[in-house]
């Protein structure tokens, strides 16, 4: 079989020098050494891998995408991922998916905080409901003053507003980043 196709790669000056030294130690050219390495890698491919490599329509689940980032962007990425308690790659995957599908996913920590808030609001609502039922039965307010009932109602409304703000901040943060989210 005639070898007429090229495989190219850019490497650092140090990597090139080390590769050249390795080729010299084996008394071959860099091209011959590279060809041997490529042949060895191709021979070691599992049969199931060759089917995936041949297919033009690879399965999307678990597929990888390599992206080059500026060092400053890499630092920001790590900070934002850490702020959401996620690995950087997971953060990028969720961020891209949320952008492509117009989603605003809640990371696990934020979802748990939201669930706790909803549970607390449910407890408060049940308590207020019991007090209202007692008041309708003529039993008074079971030791609660009108002021206390109003304060409880205000707490429920504040929780509701807090949950709305949390969801709004989550949606907003996925668009612009966590450090720009208003408190």
pLDDT, tens only, 80-110: 888 877 889 888 888 888 788 777 777 777 7
Chain centroid to CA 166: 18
The number of residues making up the chain comes to 183
- State how far the Cα of 160 lies from the Cα of 140, in Å rounded to an integer: 27
Instruction: Tokens for 139, please give them.
Output: 């039993």
Q: What is the mean pLDDT of the chain?
A: 77
- State how far the Cα of 34 lies from the Cα of 41, in Å rounded to an integer: 11
Does the pLDDT value for residue 179 go beyond 80? no
- For residue 4, what pLDDT band results from cuts at 50, 70 and 90? confident
Query: Rounded mean pLDDT of 15-22?
Result: 92
Classified as helix, coil or strand, 14 is helix
Considering the chain, what percentage of its residues have pLDDT values greater than 90? 11
pLDDT, tens only, 124-152: 777 777 777 776 676 655 566 666 777 77
Query: Rounded mean pLDDT of 64-90?
Result: 87
- For residue 48, what pLDDT band results from cuts at 50, 70 and 90? low
Task: Give me the phi and psi of 178, to 5 degrees please.
Answer: -70, -30
Does the pLDDT value for residue 181 go beyond 50? no
The vertex-139 CA angle with 134 and 143, nearest 5°, equals: 85
């Amino acid at each position: 079989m005639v070898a007429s196709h090229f495989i190219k790669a850019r490497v650092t000056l140090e990597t090139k020098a080390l590769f050249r030294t390795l080729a010299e130690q084996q008394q071959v050219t860099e091209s011959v050494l590279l060809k041997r390495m490529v042949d060895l890698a191709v021979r070691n491919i599992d049969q199931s891998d060759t089917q995936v490599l041949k297919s033009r329509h690879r399965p999307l689940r678990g597929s990888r995408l390599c992206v080059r980032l500026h060092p400053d962007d890499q630092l920001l990425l790590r900070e934002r991922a850490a702020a959401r308690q996620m690995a950087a790659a997971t953060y990028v995957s969720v961020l891209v998916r949320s952008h492509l599908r117009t989603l605003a996913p809640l990371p696990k920590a934020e979802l748990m905080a939201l669930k706790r808030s909803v549970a607390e609001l449910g407890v408060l609502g049940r308590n207020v409901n019991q007090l209202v039922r007692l008041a309708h039965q003529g039993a008074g307010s079971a030791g609660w003053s009108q002021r206390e009932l109003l304060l409880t109602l205000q707490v429920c409304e504040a929780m509701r507003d807090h949950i709305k703000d949390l969801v709004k901040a989550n949606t907003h943060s996925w668009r612009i980043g966590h450090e720009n989210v208003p408190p």
